[in-house]
Structure 1
Amino acid sequence: MTTETRTGTEAPVLAGLPVLGSLLDLKGDSLGTFLRARREAGDVVRLTAGPPGLRSHIYAVFSAEGAQQVLAGESANFRKDNTFYQEVRESFGNGLLTSQDEDYLRQRRLVQPLFTKRRVDGYAGAVATEVATLLDEWEKAGATTVDVLHETTRLALRAVARILFGTDVDSAVEVVERCFPGVGAYVLSRGYAPLKLPRAWPTPGNRRAAALHRELYEECDRIIAERKAAGRAGEEGDDLLTLLIRAESAEDGAFDATELREQVLVFLLAGHETTATSLGFALHLLALHPEVQRRAHEEVDRVLAGRTPGAADLDALPYVTRVLKETMRLFPAAPLTGRRAVAATEIDGFTIPAGSDVVVAPWVTHRHPAYWEDPERFDPDRFTPEAEAARPRYAWFPFGGGPRACIGQHFSMLESVIALAMILQRHGFEAVDTEVPLTSAITLQAGGPVRCRLIAREG
């Protein structure tokens, strides 16, 4: 933000309904509504949502410079105090995703040693094991067509559960697959509701959500108890949960039982969504673009020559990495990110009042014509080193940014590159579903199947 633009101009308002404003548009198609807001009103836009007396005002920020200001430059002024984060906090606890202030700093200090590059690189074998299992399942089933997003969600869940819990993954994956979608829908519905009934009231929706929460909590508590018992018996493993249980420092102490459960829930949610989304939609996009797929196959064949990739191969697979980065541009797992302004400030010359809800939107910034020529076109070469250096830092931010950037960014890229390379070693893909409806809950969701036809490769 330059001093010349500090004019305190009131942000333009996106036109909406007289009584409800943009509430129905946001509930029905939040992604399309934010795209329309930038197209019609510019880089800072105010949206109103809800009836008079219960109306909220949302300031949407779409420029790379504005996103950097919110997430990094003035991050202390933009807190996770908005309605949606409060609903996520009540559903998933006060883990790394939702905690703030000293709670967050303490948790981050305890967890950071578990996510060093050296330790994350050590997870490559567990990832490769799960990918090989998935590919063998396709072969045994004689699969000719698969829903790639469903399959990569299962893969990412099993991989993160194996790394979290060791070999005890089956029950955890089954519970998460059954419970997470319902909890996410509940958070979304409460986040958009102008008037929220207390969660304790025995409405049908509250009772269903409470049952899902109980099941998730009980599964996490069971696994934590088993790991602690194994430790007391001298059978500690090197899975992430064991390391979390042992994590302790003189300054920060250790995690108690509730904190352990909350970290496990956050790692299960955040630890599989980004990988599943980027990997599933990468296969979808490769199926739609045969020439890009051909180049990816050639790189995988040349570099790996049939062997299983490991962490040391990531730098040798730059085109596969670019495919994934371009996929994360078009299909960011967290397409919208909210904050609340503590004090009044200015972004791109527009006044943001104290207490305002602020949204930065990778979904929109990743399609901003100021940074991306022909933004809907799939082109991995947007991510050559030269092209990346020529763009503003926050033209692409699928992992957030600033002091709250995703702690698992390196793990997600490691898992995604290894998985995509292994899948491409064995299969080519043709698209069955060329158009996929999308929605945004806690994360980006497909509104239908993402099916691809499998083409077996020789050798």
Structure 2
Amino acid sequence: MSVDTIPDAAGLPLIGALLDFRRDPLETYLRAQRDHGDVVRFTVGPPGLRQEFYAVFSAEGAQQVLARSVGFRKDDAFYDEIRQTFGNGLLTSQDADYVRQRRLIQPLFTRRRVDRYARAMCEETSATLAEWRDRDGEVIDVLAEVTRLTQRVVTRVLFGAASEEAADVVGRNFPLLGEWMLRRGFSPLPLPRWVPTPANRRAAAARRELYEVCDRIIAERSSGGAEHGDLLNLLLQAGDDEDDRLAPAEIRDQVLVFFLAGHETTATSMMFALYLLAGNPEVQRRAREEAERVLGDRMPEAADFDRLAYVHMAMKEAMRLYPPSPGISRRATADTEINGQVIPAGKIVLLSPWVTQRHPAYWPDPERFDPERFTPEREAARPRYAWFPFGGGPRACIGQHFSMLEAVLAIALMLREYEFHPVDTEIKLTQKLALRSVGPIRCRISAR
């Protein structure tokens, strides 16, 4: 096979698929898979600014791209924007930098380590539920509520006693930087960062304030001898000896990337889970009965994660339908055959959990919300990469258990205390740093 045999989702003669992506990129990918199969070429933009990339939609293709330690790199404009904005942390680093960072940081994210944060997760969730008590019967903006919750959790886990100082700075500056970075990442010809446009100046000020608060907390923590028990303390101690430790700037980069990845994606997962549970009363009832049976009236603990099997299945199904990161990109370093088609070296390869997790070859009636898809037997019968919201292979998300533990325990607590009733039954989606709804997703809550 040669690259010439790969079907092209051509779009219009002069601008290719540009209008399709501006109107609805998620539907554009779904239609491409239906019309052309599991490997499709896209050309986007006018001559001179045209971009070309290859989308791979099969589970087998996703495994080939993600599970290999060589052959595909995190090397495109979007990752470069993250790197320049939030530093060269674990999400964006490459080669020897990545190997070293992963070696030092992986021990901090074992299941046993992460389980220690369950109490903080549950206490912050309980604080959110306490705020809802005066709003019984009212309509809440689910996205706003769970975003505040996940911000509080990740800030507390990272900074411990200094979390209140950091939370305000992070909460104000991260959304601004995220929007700015996203626009630049998808622009065919972004202006240099030094050009003093209003957007560049606002972003530079936000980045400076964010760096300053992180650097100050790290410096204060480095000079003190007290044990704080938070993730920052563990990052400062990571490594076998002083020569192997992360430098302060490296720690700041890790902190910012953990915050970026640790609250946006979890908030997205919880938002869509509550939206789907509100619209499916029978599933909500079953999940609530499990939460009441497992938890009784006590505070959840890490051991409850495995006992809340149905809540866990509901979360996985919500992430199947609404993956926080609907697209994952890599650059091919050599000509590579995938699904019988040859993708040329140097080209961007896009994987789409949005499409693969709706692929009819793996998911009968794919638009239906059905947590039973994730019984152990049915999971074992599917290809490993039919579901990959956390990526996979050597660069799989290091915080997968953190995110799932927080979401499952928080949703169980919420269901035990409240019923959720749908208000917005039809939603429109957009892709920002994570998958989002256009406008709020609202639910009416009633205390139990």
> Do both proteins adopt the same fold according to a TM-score greater than 0.5, normalized to the shorter chain?
yes
Q: Which residue of the partner structure matches residue 244 of structure 1?
A: 235
Q: For the Cα contact (< 8 Å) 1:44–1:60, is it kept in 2?
A: yes
* Cross-structure match for 1:312: 303
Show structure 2 runs of 5+ residues with no match.
none
Match for 1:102: what amino acid? A
Q: Structure 1: where are the runs of 5+ without partners? A: 1-5
Give the alignment partner of residue 106 of structure 2, picking from 98, 106, 112: 112
In 1: Cα distance, 2:77 partner to 2:172 partner = 25
Shift, 1:9, TM fit: 5.6
The reply to whether residue 155 of structure 1 matches residue 146 of structure 2 is no
Match of 1:276 in 2: 267
Is the partner of 2:217 in helix, strand or coil? helix
Q: Deviations over 1:248-282 (max 9, x none)?
A: 23597111121111100001011112221111211
Letter in 1 for 2:231: L
Aligned match of 2:133 in 122, 139, 154? 139
**CA positional deviation for 1:222:** 2.4
* Distance (Å, rounded) in 1 between the aligned partners of 2:425 and 2:216: 42
Q: Which amino acid aligns with 2:192?
A: P
Secondary structure of 2:19 counterpart: helix
Give the deviation of 1:51 after TM superposition: 1.9
Q: Which residue of 1 aligns with 2:13?
A: 18
Count of residue correspondences: 448
Normalization by structure 2: what TM-score? 0.96
Distance, in Å, in 2 between the alignment partners of 1:194 and 1:391 is 38
Residues 179-228 of structure 1, C-alpha deviations (whole Å, 9 max, x = no match): 22222222222222222221111122221221221122122222222322
Aligned-residue CA RMSD in angstroms? 1.6
Counterpart in 1 of 2:198?
Answer: 204
Q: Is the Cα–Cα contact under 8 Å of residues 69 and 347 in structure 1 kept in the other structure?
A: yes
Cα distance in 2, alignment partners of residues 328 and 291 from structure 1: 19
The 3-state SS of whatever aligns with 2:54 is strand
**C-alpha displacement at 1:86, in angstroms?**
0.9
Candidates 329, 350, 353, aligned match of 1:359: 350
* Maintained 8 Å contact 1:8/1:350: yes
Q: Match of 2:38?
A: 43
Tell whether 2:277 aligns with 1:299.
no
Per-residue deviation, 1:39: 1.7
- In the alignment, residue 123 of structure 2 is paired with which amino acid? T
**Match for residue 368 of structure 1 among 349, 352, 359:** 359
Does the Cα contact within 8 Å between 2:41 and 2:54 map onto a contact in 1? yes
Q: 2:389 aligns with which of 390, 398, 418?
A: 398
SS at match of 2:436: strand
Greater mean deviation of Cα atoms: 329-338 or 183-192: 183-192
Give the 3-state SS of the residue equivalent to 1:442 in structure 2: coil
Q: Provide TM-score, normalisation by structure 1.
A: 0.94
For residues 224 and 195 of structure 1, the distance between their equivalents in structure 2, rounded to whole angstroms, comes to 36
Structure 2 vs 1, CA of residues 252 and 335 (structure 1 numbering), >3 Å: closer, same or farther?
A: farther
Q: Matched residues in 2 for 1:29 and 1:294: separation?
A: 34
Specify which of 207, 216, 228 is matched with residue 222 of structure 2: 228
Match of 2:25 in 1: 30
Deviation string 1:276-295 (CA, Å, 9 cap, x unpaired) is: 11112111111000000111
Between 326-335 and 22-31, report the one with greater CA deviation.
22-31
**Residue 373 of structure 2 contacts residue 379 of structure 2 at CA under 8 Å; is this kept in 1?**
yes
How far apart are residue 54 of structure 1 and its match? 2.5
Secondary structure, aligned partner of 2:190: coil
Residue 91 of structure 1 corresponds to which residue in structure 2?
85
Amino acid at match of 1:193: S
1:338 matched to which residue of 2? 329
Please say if residues 110 and 252 of structure 1, whose CA atoms lie closer than 8 Å, have aligned partners that are also in contact: no
SS at match of 1:410: helix
Counterpart residue type for residue 368 of structure 1: H
Corresponding residue number in structure 2 for 1:380:
371
Q: Is the 8 A contact 2:313 2:371 kept in 1?
A: yes
Partner of 2:313: 322
More displaced stretch, 203-212 vs 63-72: 203-212
CA contact (8 A) 1:9 1:349 kept: no
Secondary structure of 2:52's counterpart equals: strand
Which of 424, 439, 442 is the aligned partner of 1:433? Answer: 424
Q: C-alpha distance in 1, partners of 2:16/2:426?
A: 30
TM-superposed CA distance for 1:406, in Å, is 0.6
Find the aligned partners of 1:200 and 1:424 in 2 and give their Cα distance.
49
Q: Distance in 2 between matches of 1:252 and 1:434?
A: 56
SS in 2 for 1:156: helix
Residue 158 (structure 2) pairs with residue 164 (structure 1):
yes
Residue by residue, what CA displacement relative to the aligned partner does 1:349-393 show, whole Å, maximum 9, x if unpaired?
111011101100101111111111111110000000111011100
Aligned 8 A contact 1:96 1:266 in 2: yes
What secondary structure, in the 3-state scheme, does the structure 2 residue paired with 1:168 have?
Answer: helix
The match for 2:74 is 80
Match of 2:96 in 1: 102
Cα deviation code 1:220-250 (max 9, x no counterpart): 2222223224xx2x32210000111121235
Q: Deviations over 1:106-143 (max 9, x none)?
A: 01111111111111111111111101111111114557
Task: Give CA deviations for 1:312-346 in whole Å, capped at 9, x if unaligned.
Answer: 11111110000000011011111101111111111
Counterpart of 1:415, as a letter, is: E
**AA matched with 1:154:** R
Q: Give the whole-Å Cα distance in 1 for the aligned partners of 2:243 and 2:36.
A: 47
User: Structure 1 residues 23-32 or 274-283, which shifts more?
Assistant: 23-32
Structure 2 partner of 1:3: none
Alpha-carbon shift at residue 98 of structure 1 (Å): 0.2
* C-alpha displacement of 1:8: 5.8
Q: Which residue of the partner structure matches residue 124 of structure 2? A: 130
Contact 1:227–1:236 (CA<8 Å) still a contact in 2?
no
